[in-house]
């Protein structure tokens, strides 16, 4: 009996010891788990800060920040504004974003093995694929009258000039006139001497448009010798209201054309309204943009190389390649025919944060008094009318502009948007518009969260880029190709011409399989500026909702650009 009781006591004691050991093990495991959690957070935060130090050390060693990515594939830097070394060394305050960036880093690390949201790389296929390109269909004969010649000198960069060319084509048909191949105005902002034939195939443009309008390369000799300004044939953009209606040209420009047989539209750009315009003239606009303007072979060849390296030389050309790089898409396909048909996906991002956009926005971006002085000086030189307006008119404050969604997204805001949408850390991101205001240090957040970030300067060697150096419009054409052919395209400013043209091109030729992310900046501003304590999951939900609302397949709203919204009967045919 005593022995039985003793055995029970021993067993009870042994059970208690086992239970205590189990509790200790459980407690140790819990401590280890918590420690691991803090370690992961510490590592991600360190990575966010590490690049700041590295870039500052490089700047202190005299690294030339204006060269950007070299042909060396290991280079971690992105091109920055020439002459902005002082800006590139500036420590940009992250404000509220320091906390959000840390949360984003943790979320990306945690989500590495989780599936991406289903609609991340997709459009609403059924609705969007019902629209097919048909602007190449003609229902008229060439105009037999010729009331004179229209000369156009287009202003702006490559994308603004593209819009101006197609507007000029429509104007030539409207006024029964012959179009002289457009010239491009030299700009103190873009500093590029490129002309039409340096960017687009001139012969193809003339031949393709011949059934619609008459086009010549130069004025006839008898008109070339005239002093156009003296006879009143020079019309500047200041003489034409923005998006003027056809009636304006018929009333004001046609009489000059009939009288002098020539009109020179100097600084012509966005000077023709989208509505009201007849069906065939609107279709002519689309025909010019989507069919008549082909890049010259040297741009196509470099663009094909760019796409090949973006896709890591895998698979076959994308659905838009043949429209962008012509015969060079076929040569790429031959080189890769033995490889897997599954290409490496990439996201393109147009980070519209160059100094001209930043200065023109009248917003503030965290650089304090130094930034305000710098942008004020830039406006005085490049936007004198805006500088004068600031002095004579009470304009909205930077804070008010931001709340209204009128400020371009900063690199920090752009990367937070991508992370919230669910793009994985390993996503390859092609960045266009790499002359970022503030320099490479402004891109720390982007490169830290998405290390597979590339630009044309990184993917193409210095030898391959050499023919395009000092020609910003030709370099912009390469960005256009890289963005347009991407599996998904994200813009940070829907008002930019490149984003507008790229998204329209993807709609026109994409067959409903080329998603575009168009942020509602007003909604995003509310999320960014009014939620200092927002949790990451709530931030994700709100950002995704703000972006999802812009993914609806809509027919072109009245008065809006057919270059951006080609889903209309004039440009595309609905099959469903």
Sign of the torsion formed by the C-alpha atoms of 211, 212, 217 and 221: positive
pLDDT in tens, 327-357: 999 755 555 544 444 457 999 999 989 999 9
Query: Which one has a higher pLDDT value, 469 or 190?
Result: 469
Lowest mean pLDDT, pick from 27-36, 167-176, 507-516: 27-36
Of 190, 179, 187, residue with least CA distance to 237: 187
Which 3 state secondary structure label does DSSP give 319?
coil
pLDDT tens digit string along 8-66? 454 455 455 444 555 656 656 556 654 555 454 444 444 444 443 343 343 333 333 33
Residue 504 and residue 451 in contact, taking contact as beta carbons nearer than 8 Å: no
DSSP symbols for 89-113: TS----TTHHHHHHHHHHHHHHGGG
Q: 44 has which bridge partners?
A: none
- Looking at residue 441, what DSSP letter applies? G
Stretch 303-316: mean pLDDT: 83
What is the helix (H) or strand (E) element at residue 517, kind and residue range? strand 516-517
Q: Which segment of 91-95, 341-345, 426-430 scores lowest on mean pLDDT?
A: 91-95
**What pLDDT is attached to residue 530?**
66
Which tens digit of pLDDT belongs to each residue from 124-161? Answer: 767 788 899 999 999 888 777 789 999 999 998 999 99
Q: In the predicted model, is pLDDT for residue 180 greater than 70?
A: yes
Query: What rounded mean pLDDT belongs to the chain?
Result: 83
Residue 316 pLDDT greater than 90, yes or no: no
- If you write DSSP's letter for every residue of 443-458 in order, what string do you get? GHHHHHH---EE-HHH
Residue 417 · residue 385 · CB < 8 Å = no
If you average pLDDT over residues 382-388, what whole number do you get? 93
Shortest CA distance to 484 belongs to which of 460, 520, 514, 512? 514
């Amino acid at each position: 009996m005593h022995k039985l009781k003793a055995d029970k006591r021993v067993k009870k004691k042994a059970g208690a010891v086992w239970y205590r050991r189990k509790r200790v093990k459980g407690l140790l495991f819990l401590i280890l788990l918590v420690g691991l959690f803090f370690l992961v957070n510490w590592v991600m935060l360190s990575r966010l800060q590490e690049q700041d130090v590295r870039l500052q050390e490089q700047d202190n060693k005299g690294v030339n920040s204006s060269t950007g990515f070299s042909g060396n594939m290991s280079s971690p830097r992105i091109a920055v504004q020439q002459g902005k070394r002082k800006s590139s060394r500036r420590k940009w305050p992250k404000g509220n974003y320091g906390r959000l960036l840390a949360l984003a880093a943790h979320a990306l690390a945690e989500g590495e093995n989780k599936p991406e949201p289903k609609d991340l790389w997709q459009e609403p296929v059924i609705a969007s694929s019902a629209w097919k390109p048909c602007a190449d269909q003609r229902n008229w004969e060439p105009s037999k009258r010729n009331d004179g010649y229209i000369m156009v000198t287009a202003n702006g960069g490559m994308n603004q000039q593209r819009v101006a060319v197609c507007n000029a084509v429509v104007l030539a048909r409207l006024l029964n006139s012959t179009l002289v191949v457009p010239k491009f105005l030299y700009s103190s902002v873009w500093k590029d001497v490129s002309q039409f034939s340096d960017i687009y195939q001139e012969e193809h443009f003339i031949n393709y448009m011949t059934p619609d309008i008459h086009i010549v390369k130069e004025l006839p000799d008898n008109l070339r010798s005239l002093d156009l300004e003296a006879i009143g044939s020079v019309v500047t953009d200041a003489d034409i209201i923005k998006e003027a209606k056809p009636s304006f040209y018929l009333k004001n420009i046609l009489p000059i054309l009939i009288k002098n047989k020539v009109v020179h539209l100097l600084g012509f750009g966005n000077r023709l309204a989208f509505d009201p315009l007849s069906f065939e003239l609107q279709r002519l606009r689309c025909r010019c943009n989507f069919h008549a303007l082909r890049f010259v072979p040297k741009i196509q060849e470099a663009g094909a190389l760019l796409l090949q390296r973006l896709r890591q030389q895998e698979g076959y050309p994308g659905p838009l390649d043949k429209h962008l790089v012509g015969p060079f898409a076929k040569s790429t396909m031959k080189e890769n025919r033995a490889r897997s048909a599954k290409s490496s996906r990439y996201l393109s991002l147009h980070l519209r944060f160059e100094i001209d956009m930043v200065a023109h926005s009248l917003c503030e971006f965290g650089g304090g008094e130094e930034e305000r002085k710098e942008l004020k000086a830039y406006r005085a030189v490049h936007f004198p009318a805006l500088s004068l307006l600031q002095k004579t008119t009470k304009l909205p404050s930077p804070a008010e502009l931001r709340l209204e969604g009128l400020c371009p997204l900063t690199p920090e805001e752009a990367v937070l948007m991508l992370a919230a949408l669910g793009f994985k850390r390993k996503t390859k991101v092609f960045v266009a518009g790499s002359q970022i205001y503030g320099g490479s240090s402004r891109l720390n957040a982007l490169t830290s969260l998405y290390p597979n970030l590339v630009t044309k300067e990184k993917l193409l060697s210095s030898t391959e880029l050499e023919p395009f150096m000092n020609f910003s419009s030709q370099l912009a054409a390469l960005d256009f190709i890289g963005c347009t052919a991407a599996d998904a395209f994200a813009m940070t400013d829907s008002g930019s011409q490149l984003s507008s043209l790229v998204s329209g091109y993807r709609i026109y030729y994409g067959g409903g399989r080329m998603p575009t992310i168009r942020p509602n900046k007003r909604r995003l501003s509310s999320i960014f500026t009014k939620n200092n304590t927002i949790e990451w999951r709530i931030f994700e939900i709100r950002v995704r909702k703000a972006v999802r609302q812009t993914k609806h397949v809509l027919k072109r709203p009245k008065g809006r650009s057919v270059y951006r919204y080609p889903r209309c009967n004039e440009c595309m045919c609905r099959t469903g």
